[in-house]
Amino acid sequence: MAEAAFTPRVFSGIQPSGNLTLGNYLGALKRFANSQNEGVESIFCMVDLHAITVWQDPAKLRHATRELAAGFIASGLDPQKSILFNQSQVPEHTQMAWVFNCVARMGWMKRMTQFKDKAGKNAEQASLGLFGYPALMAADILVYHATHVPVGEDQKQHLELTQEIARKFNHDYGVAFFPETQPVIEGAATRVMSLRDGTKKMSKSDPSDMSRINLTDDADTIAKKIRKAKTDPEPLPSDAEGLEDRPEARNLVNIYAALSDRSVADVMREVGGKPFSEFKPMLADLAVDRIAPISDEMARLMKDVSEIDHILTDGAARARTIAQPILQQTYQIMGMVGAMP
Ligand code: ATP
Ligand code: MG
């Protein structure tokens, strides 16, 4: 399929499933702002319907959705330049998801590692929605014919599934209707790890608050979490190769590189050989320096939630003008009769 037929369009989403973390910032938000500023049409979604695949307290979900919107804006997303909205306000996502539930195969879904990680040993008790999550994610993306999706490394498999769904739909109906969307996974921090366990991804839904840095943490909390971050007893190695078998050290260096917009090799020239007692305060200072303006701005925006709600409703209306005709054409291709409501 000729990809050139599709206008470049960026889509990505974040779940309002807890506090935004440094992982979300470096792996997603910071890079969303770059893509917006390069002038590509960009659509960003608070994916509340993904968040409810595990139970959410209604009051907390409401707060987290607004705070997430504040996090987007404070990270540099401009609601005039980009489209910002919450997923439940655009019903085309779930309508398209049903279509994709009928395209995706059980065998594909069963391979998804996020489901296995999140359901854990208790898969029989997980919601059907948690299992179907990647089909909704494919719908989020393809209902806009998005060509590029900036995400963290953990979402690579879901993007491959999205491509597989698009390919099967196009093949089954003999059309070149859905693009082969490309994941964009770039930079030093595509997978920020937990501060307590260098083999586990930093996540906003991790029960341990010490495992992550939240964008709403104050300077003392950030410094404390970095000071207590798990490390090994050796000083930092002299070059990047020396980090290979040291996941905790590598994670802290990657964070330092991403926060300062430098390469890991460049950072190693500065910090190689230093003990953690010297490196951790440097990292804490840098993290506070970069995060404090974002958390201050989030707090300021949260003082006026009606303005945030207005931004989301306006974004949803703009998103629908793109999604509705694409869903309508999808239905027509499939043979549904009659105009859409
Ligand atoms: P949850 O624990 O509820 O799944 P999360 O922290 O994984 O939350 P998501 O909303 O699932 O956040 O993901 C939002 C975006 O942030 C995705 O693009 C994802 O790849 C990215 N992301 C999440 N965690 C990290 C991380 N530790 N490092 C880099 N990117 C990340
Ligand atoms: Mg996640």
Is the pLDDT assigned to residue 340 strictly greater than 90?
A: no
> Where does the pLDDT of residue 177 fall: very low under 50, low under 70, confident under 90, or very high at 90 and above?
very high
For ligand 1, whether the C-beta of 14 sits within 6 Å is yes
- Coil, helix or strand at residue 257: helix
CA 26/CA 259 separation, integer angstroms: 7
303 is catalytic: no
194 with 201: CB under 8 angstroms? Answer: yes
pLDDT for the residue 158: 98
What is this structure's pTM?
0.96
44 with 12: CB under 8 angstroms? Answer: yes
Residue 262's identity, in one-letter code, is R
> Where does the pLDDT of residue 2 fall: very low under 50, low under 70, confident under 90, or very high at 90 and above?
very low
Q: Taking CA 300 as the corner, what is the angle to CA 294 and CA 301, rounded to the nearest 5 degrees? A: 90
pLDDT for the residue 188: 83
The pair of structure tokens assigned to 183 is: 């994941």
Atom of ligand 1 nearest to the CA of 150: 18
The pair of structure tokens assigned to 323 is: 């999604």
> Dihedral through CA 68, CA 72, CA 75, CA 76, nearest 10?
-160
Residues 30, 60, 118, 156: which is the catalytic one? 118
281-305 tens-digit pLDDT:
999 999 999 999 999 999 999 999 9
- Coil, helix or strand at residue 195: coil
For ligand 1, whether the C-beta of 21 sits within 6 Å is yes
C-alpha separations of 79 from 84, 121, 266, 298 in Å: 6, 41, 35, 15
33-51 tens-digit pLDDT:
998 999 999 999 999 999 9
Total H helices, total E strands in the chain: 14, 5
Atom of ligand 1 nearest to the CA of 194: 27
Judged by its nearest atom, the ligand closest to the C-alpha of residue 251 is 1
168 is catalytic: no
Is the pLDDT assigned to residue 69 strictly greater than 60?
A: yes
182-228 tens-digit pLDDT:
999 998 899 999 999 999 999 999 999 999 999 999 999 999 999 99
Span 134-158, average pLDDT: 98
Question: Which residue among 20, 24, 190 is best mutated to probe the pocket of ligand 1, counting the most ligand atoms within 8 A of its Cβ?
Answer: 24
For ligand 1, whether the C-beta of 191 sits within 6 Å is yes
Which phi and psi (to 5°) does residue 226 adopt?
A: -70, -40
Cα–chain center distance at 221: 24
> Where does the pLDDT of residue 3 fall: very low under 50, low under 70, confident under 90, or very high at 90 and above?
very low
118 is catalytic: yes
CA 53/CA 12 separation, integer angstroms: 18
For ligand 1, whether the C-beta of 65 sits within 6 Å is no
For ligand 1, whether the C-beta of 203 sits within 6 Å is yes
Q: How far is the CA of 329 from the centre of ligand 2 (A)?
A: 31
Residue with tokens 């494919």: 138
Atom of ligand 1 nearest to the CA of 202: 27
Residues 30, 121, 156, 201: which is the catalytic one? 201
For ligand 1, whether the C-beta of 160 sits within 6 Å is no
Question: Side by side, which strands form the sheet with 83-86?
Answer: 83-86, 41-46, 9-14, 148-150, 182-184
- Coil, helix or strand at residue 46: strand
311 with 84: CB under 8 angstroms? Answer: yes
Residues 6+ apart with CB under 8 A from 44: 11, 12, 13, 14, 32, 72, 77, 82, 83, 84
The pair of structure tokens assigned to 222 is: 């950030």
Residue with tokens 């491509």: 163
Is the pLDDT assigned to residue 128 strictly greater than 70?
A: yes
Q: How far is the CA of 212 from the centre of ligand 1 (A)?
A: 12
pLDDT for the residue 1: 44
Average pLDDT, rounded, for the chain: 95
For ligand 1, whether the C-beta of 151 sits within 6 Å is yes
> Where does the pLDDT of residue 4 fall: very low under 50, low under 70, confident under 90, or very high at 90 and above?
low
The pair of structure tokens assigned to 206 is: 């991790």
Span 74-100, average pLDDT: 98
pLDDT for the residue 341: 60
Q: Which residue from 181, 146, 196, 174 is spatially nearest to 7, judged by alpha carbons? A: 146
CA 29/CA 13 separation, integer angstroms: 10
